[in-house]
């Protein structure tokens, strides 16, 4: 079973963008959590890894940050460029390979929202993060909860890194995608090896607006 996130997200780019703009998990759970960890960013240089359709990118621009946004999907980058124009530097790039267009010690904050679980080997990724970050720079990451994924897929060994497969149905059409499960201990070991430590480990609750959204949805 091969993992090809660029192909998968090019295939479902428009559907995914619509989903991410409205779906509960993005709007009322992941994105608010990322924003809560993104402290004062005015005039700071931010590398956003996996910008998708640019929803979070646009918010960061509104906070007057200087943005370099990347995504492995050419289709996603097209949408982000249309959305933001010249307000951000936007590139097609694979974060598992060297980011030659990003200077060493040039980034204040790296944000990787729901993207790292598509990458098999995190070691070169975090080595590259270490290169581009300034001293006292920070990384904000969201990823699938490993225990929830392991339980959902009913696999025998929680500690084994495996490629999981799921199917999303968006507007009545199925889309299949794959991502890697890895134990939390493995994630932390990679962070330490690359010279990072965890300041905040957040398992967020949905924001209060979620309840109102679901109540309105039930009335439709």
Q: Output the 3-class SS for 74-93.
A: HHHHHHHHHHHHHHCEEEEC
Strands 89-92, 66-71: pairing kind: parallel
67 confidence band (pLDDT: 50, 70, 90): very high
The residue among 112 and 9 whose pLDDT is bigger is: 112
User: Does the pLDDT value for residue 104 go beyond 90?
Assistant: yes
- Asked if pLDDT for residue 99 goes beyond 50, the answer is yes
Tell me, yes or no, whether 18 lies in a domain.
yes
Q: Which domain holds residue 82?
A: 5-145+183-219
Residues whose CB is less than 8 angstroms from the CB of residue 149 and which lie 6 or more positions away in sequence, other chains included: 164, 181
Q: Tell me if 84 is assigned to some domain.
A: yes
Q: How confident is the model at residue 212 (pLDDT cuts 50, 70, 90)?
A: low
Instruction: Give a yes or no: residue 159 inside a domain.
Output: no
- Judge whether residue 6 has pLDDT over 90: no
The CATH number of the domain where 9 resides is what? 3.40.50.150
In a domain, 172, yes or no: no
48 within a domain of the structure (yes/no): yes
- What mean pLDDT comes out for the span 57-75? 96
pLDDT band at 210 (very low <50, low <70, confident <90, very high): low
Quote the pLDDT of residue 184: 96
Query: What is the DSSP code (8-state) at residue 114?
Result: S
What residue spans of 154-208 are helical by DSSP H? 184-193
What b/e string do you get for 54-74 counting C-beta neighbours within 10 Å, with b at 16 or more?
bbbbbebbeeebbbbbbbbbe
| 4-8, 10-14, 60-64, 164-168: range with highest mean pLDDT | 60-64
* Average pLDDT rounded to a whole number, residues 84-93: 96
Count of domains forming the chain: 1
Mean of pLDDT over the chain: 90
The region, left, alpha or beta by phi > 0 then psi within -120 to 50, assigned to residue 4 is: beta
In-domain check, residue 32: yes
pLDDT exceeds cutoff 50 at 148? yes
| Residue 4, pLDDT score | 87
Q: What is the mean pLDDT of residues 60-81?
A: 96
Query: What is the pTM assigned to this prediction?
Result: 0.90
Q: Are 47 and 216 spatial neighbours (Cβ–Cβ below 8 Å)?
A: no
pLDDT of residue 211: 56
176 domain residue, yes or no: no
pLDDT at 168 over 90: no
């Amino acid at each position: 079973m091969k993992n090809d996130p660029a192909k998968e997200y090019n295939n479902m780019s428009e559907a995914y963008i619509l989903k991410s703009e409205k779906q509960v998990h993005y709007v009322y759970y992941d994105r608010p959590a990322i924003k809560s960890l993104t402290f004062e960013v005015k005039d700071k240089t931010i590398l956003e890894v996996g910008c998708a359709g640019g929803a979070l990118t646009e918010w960061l621009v509104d906070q007057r940050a200087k943005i370099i946004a990347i995504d492995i999907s050419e289709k996603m980058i097209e949408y982000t460029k249309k959305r933001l124009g010249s307000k951000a530097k936007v590139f097609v790039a694979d974060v598992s390979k060297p980011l030659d267009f990003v200077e060493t010690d040039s980034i204040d904050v790296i944000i990787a929202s729901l993207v790292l679980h598509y990458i098999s080997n995190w070691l070169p990724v975090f080595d590259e993060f270490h290169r581009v970050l300034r001293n006292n720079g920070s990384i904000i990451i969201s990823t699938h909860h490993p225990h929830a994924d392991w339980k959902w897929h009913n696999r025998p060994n929680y500690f084994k890194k495996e490629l999981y497969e799921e199917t999303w149905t968006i507007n009545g059409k199925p889309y299949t995608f794959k991502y890697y499960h890895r134990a939390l201990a493995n994630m932390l070991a990679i962070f330490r090896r690359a010279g990072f430590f965890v300041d905040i480990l957040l398992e967020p609750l949905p924001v209060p607006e979620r309840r109102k959204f679901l109540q309105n949805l039930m009335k439709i």
